Amino acid sequence: MKATCLALLWFVSAFPAVHAADGEIVSTLKDQKHVSVTIYNEDLALVKDSRRVNLEAGDNALAWRDVSAHIRPETALLHGSTDDKGLRLIEQNFDFDLLTPQKLLEKYVGDKVRVIRTNPASGTDSSEEATVLSANEGVVLQYSNRIESLPAGRLAYQAVPGNLRDRPTLVIRLQAAKAGDRLLELSYLTSGLGWKADYVAELSPKDDRLDLNGWVTLSNQSGSTYRDAHLQLVAGDVNRVRDELRMSDQAMEKRMVTAAAAPRMAEEALFEYHLYTLDRLTTIAENQTKQVALLAATQVPATKEFLLRGADTYFRSSFGEIGQKMKIGVFVEFANKGRDLGIPLPRGTIRVYKKDASGNAQFVGEDRIDHTPQNETVRLKLGDAFDITADKRQTDYQKSSGVVVAGSRYKNVNELAFELVLKNAKNEAVTVKVIEPIPGDWEILSENIQHVKAAANSAVWKVAVPPEGKATLTYRVRVKY
């Protein structure tokens, strides 16, 4: 909807109660014509709520009910249609002090209530007037001749105070040039709405392909329901001024989980982020967790890797046995491209399953991924191999100080030798990648398997280990620093 924006002037103050105050026009969800919700990462959402409202000529007090309980009122914008020039905003008040028994009691501190008691024998009621002295950690009442704390009976109040409401309400004071229906849109930022991506992958029997399903999990703790909403999600790290956010101080008391199967969400670039749009309307109920389908991809090519990573500590001093039965990490990676993939993947957790001999899917590991652009590689660590281990020791260590090598003077020059024995109890051959982070200025003097210098401080070997056998890697290195 094309709209013109009315400037807002804010006052946080008391305003009429749960019933419509004198002259107050109440707008409820029955007046709602359209609502759209854009949810960002990190507990932030943009709500656009359009309603048909009947205004009177002149001054109006419009009570816009069922806004988010965690609205950031300083971000609110009220829009009218482009051809409606006869609206002028005067002030707005966000009434977030909601009616509860405790709140009602607190508002009556210093005022009179009636205490009603029931005779257990006769069942008749009697009442007595008292003044509320305190509502902290219980109630203290002053009668005409005494003071009681935690009195027996029930309290009766004359009326609901004007600064309590049963639902979060934004009270808008505005002037209209003429009476009649108007379509108004209120947009605002709020906390209490969030989303995250979850993925489920199933590996093929040979671990060379996987089926991937992505789900978006929505959570609504904002204190309001968004019926038949147009839903969009923004993936990316949006900068925010943290100290100005009013965060929720209430835990979610109940949670309902619903799953909604659907085609994958449409994706597009938005500034330096990515926007995902659900292709249908959906209701995001208060205190609800909802799942909607994000993507589905089958037969995605994948590779499995066994990895042993060392530490630069072992190149600086003398060691004997470095480790026995050392763990070998298991990784699976795939490219975010192809017929069914190739869209930016939002940050989330990928859980991986594989079918056993009976055809039952078993959980084999999980890992978190960051926001991943298309054509990038997704790499998951699923755990450590059970049947592949390593024994590592330092077989030689020689140290020199104040050495000049090739015209350059070094404070320390270490010459070290290592032996790594890889054992494979599986009935199939495996290849283990060995990465050694070597500090300083280094060179490999000798080795039984050719290394690759993957980076300035990294030497990499790929060691083939036969089935139910072992393989040995030996090398000597000179480190200057």
| Segment 169-215, tens digit of pLDDT | 888 888 888 889 999 999 999 999 999 999 999 999 999 999 999 99
User: What is the arithmetic mean of pLDDT over 457-478?
Assistant: 96
Q: How far apart are the first and last CA of the chain?
A: 66
Q: Which residue has the higher pLDDT, 357 or 98?
A: 357
| Segment 25-52, tens digit of pLDDT | 989 999 999 999 999 988 899 999 999 9
455 Cβ contact partners less than 8 Å away, ≥ 6 residues apart: none
Report which residue type is found at 229. A
Q: Do 308 and 436 touch, CB atoms closer than 8 A?
A: no
Closest C-alpha to 5, from 92, 125, 62, 87: 87
- Which range is least confidently modeled, 173-187, 347-361, 454-468? 173-187
Cα distances from 146 to residues 64, 106, 141, 356, in angstroms, run 45, 21, 9, 76
Residue 17 pLDDT greater than 80, yes or no: no
The fraction of the chain above a pLDDT of 90, given in percent, is 55
Residue 160 pLDDT greater than 60, yes or no: yes
* 8 vs 75: CA distance, rounded Å: 9
| Segment 372-422, tens digit of pLDDT | 999 999 999 999 999 999 999 999 999 876 566 555 666 788 899 999 999
Per-residue model confidence (pLDDT) at position 1 = 40
* 7 vs 76: CA distance, rounded Å: 10
Max Cα–Cα distance, the chain, nearest Å? 109
Is 364 in a helix, a strand, or coil? strand
User: What is the arithmetic mean of pLDDT over 58-78?
Assistant: 88
Residue 89 pLDDT greater than 60, yes or no: yes
Residue 316 pLDDT greater than 50, yes or no: yes
| Segment 421-458, tens digit of pLDDT | 999 999 999 999 999 999 988 999 999 999 999 999 99
Query: Which phi and psi angles does 17 have, rounded to 5°?
Result: -85, -165
